[in-house]
Amino acid sequence: MLFVAGVIALGCVSHALAAETPKLAKLRASANKGDATAELALGTIYHMGNGVKQNDTKAVEWWRKAADQNNALAQFLIGEAYREGKGVAKDEAKAIIWWRKSAAQGNADAENNLAYAYHNGVGAPKNNSEAVKWWRKAAEQGDMDAQFSLGAAYYNGDGLRKDNIAAHMWFKLALAHGHKSAAQLLDEVEKAMTQEQIDRADYLAGQWIKQHKS
């Protein structure tokens, strides 16, 4: 099954819709009229096999209809399909194309996937600076994996200049958002810092949290 933060909730909705034939028929009618939200939901129903025979090819067909209407989540899901070869032939370069479409609309999962693709040279030439750019975009939206990866980039000087204060700040934010591995690297980076530097990093993390309160 393709992973997508946010589609878990959508899948729950899809399950409820698919469980009742009249509601599924109504959803399909809306999708057939070009409603992008219905197209996305119907694709997810086929992907998960909720009330219909599981069919990733049909899932991608419906997601593509929604994606063609600039639905960012559908664009992200098509990228996932290409990465995993579910419903389409595996093609990591095409995955990047679709993630870029989604990321252009601010989808943090797509931004994070782009970062990993460029960092590892999968589907595109390895480019650590490009990876950092996309991790930063996702990190600024509160994505804990991106925050952790950005912290690691600062700690290792990977794609940017090594900066323990910035590394500490991003590790601390990742930890605050629930990243399980952040605590270990936070302790590690502190060993190479003065108390003044740690205090500065804590201040910056606190300021970030204040500025990003919803």
**Contact status, residue 41 vs residue 10, Cβ threshold 8 Å:** yes
The candidate with the shortest Cα–Cα distance to 71, out of 98, 50, 89, 97, is 98
Task: Give dist(CA 12, CA 92) in Å, integer.
Answer: 28
* CA dihedral over 83, 90, 129, 106, signed as positive or negative: negative
Question: Over the stretch 19-29, which tens digit does the pLDDT of each residue have?
Answer: 457 888 999 99
This prediction has a pTM of 0.86
Task: Kindly list the distances between the CA atom of residue 26 and the CA atoms of 22, 41, 90, in Å, as whole numbers in the listed order.
Answer: 6, 12, 33
DSSP 103-152: HTTT-HHHHHHHHHHHHHTSSS---HHHHHHHHHHHHTTT-HHHHHHHHH
Question: Over the stretch 49-101, which tens digit does the pLDDT of each residue have?
Answer: 988 999 999 999 999 999 999 999 999 999 999 999 999 999 999 999 999 99
The predicted pLDDT at position 10 comes to 57
Sites in the chain below the pLDDT cut of 50: 1, 3-5, 8-9, 12-13, 16-19
The predicted pLDDT at position 7 comes to 53
| Domain range list for the chain | 126-214
The predicted pLDDT at position 95 comes to 98
The candidate with the shortest Cα–Cα distance to 4, out of 64, 79, 61, is 79
